[in-house]
Amino acid sequence: MEDLLRVEALCREPILDRVSFTMNSGEMVAIMGPSGSGKSTLLYQVAGMDQPTSGRVYLAGQEITGISEEKRAEIRLHRMGFVFQQMNMMGKLNILDNILLPAAEANRVLHNRSKLELRKEAESLMQKLSVLELKERSITEVSGGQLQRACICRSMINRPEILLADEPTGALNKSAAAEVMDTFVKLNQEGTTILLVTHDSKVAGRCGRILYLLDGRICGELLLQRPGAGTQKRREETVNQWLEMMGW
């Protein structure tokens, strides 16, 4: 099977140093590492938001480094979904319209889905992520966990091949973080490929694999059971023991 994501000897001076890894379709992988180790930079490179100094990134076999910014933006819009710690929703729009925004943007390019179809798709995502009843609310009238789950709906609206998330639970309390992770695990079990950055061993413990970044290099990897299998407590303990070994 072809790798969905292939990162080859990626350098971004002076932050990333020959980072290589691959992800199969359907995997959920966490990137961990100390503050300043280059986690966000790596994610932005994978997303093509920035040009590497050297090295390559392939999405489903297609090289996405060394192509124009315009083409990279198109790939980001149509083939990737993004979730950030700072949720970046538009204050003037209600929750549903925020979720529809990337679809409207994509439709200007593609014109392939009607407004009604898009609305139905957004509502079915919202139903699945338990935020449908909030669709008419403004972004200030929902909790942090609800808002992040709405952001995940927004990231899924253009049916991305991969979801990229930078500290998606970083701004949330424990129970909201657990709900957001339940959502990621559910989407992953349904086939969504997810690459996320986190500081939290509980969050990482719910992924299938963890990469450890130190000073811009991948210097460790931990394989876990597939997401959803085993008890969360046991998974978290495994991660904590490994992190200790990595010098966390």
Residues that bind Mg ion (CB under 5 A): 39-40
5-12/217-223 β-pairing: unpaired
38 near 211, Cβ under 8 Å?
Answer: no
Q: Which is nearer to ligand ATP, 38 or 227 (CB)?
A: 38
Q: Which is nearer to ligand ATP, 15 or 219 (CB)?
A: 15
By the 10 Å C-beta count (0-12 exposed, 13-18 middle, 19+ buried), 150 is classed as buried
Q: Is 120 helix (H, G, I), strand (E, B) or coil?
A: helix
- Find which of Mg ion, ligand ATP, none residue 102 binds, CB within 5 to 8 Å per kind: none
| Site for ligand ATP contains 246 (CB under 6 A) | no
Residue with tokens 């991660």: 239
- Min dist CB 98 to ligand ATP, Å, is 25
Among 22, 25, 40, 107, binds ligand ATP (CB under 6 A): 40
205 near 235, Cβ under 8 Å?
Answer: yes
| Site for ligand ATP contains 12 (CB under 6 A) | no
- Min dist CB 247 to Mg ion, Å, is 19
- Six token digits for residue 48: 């093509």
Element containing residue 180 per DSSP (H, E): helix 174-189
Q: Which is nearer to Mg ion, 40 or 94 (CB)?
A: 40
| Site for ligand ATP contains 169 (CB under 6 A) | no
Instruction: Give the interface with ligand ATP as residue ranges (CB under 6 A).
Output: 15, 33, 35-41
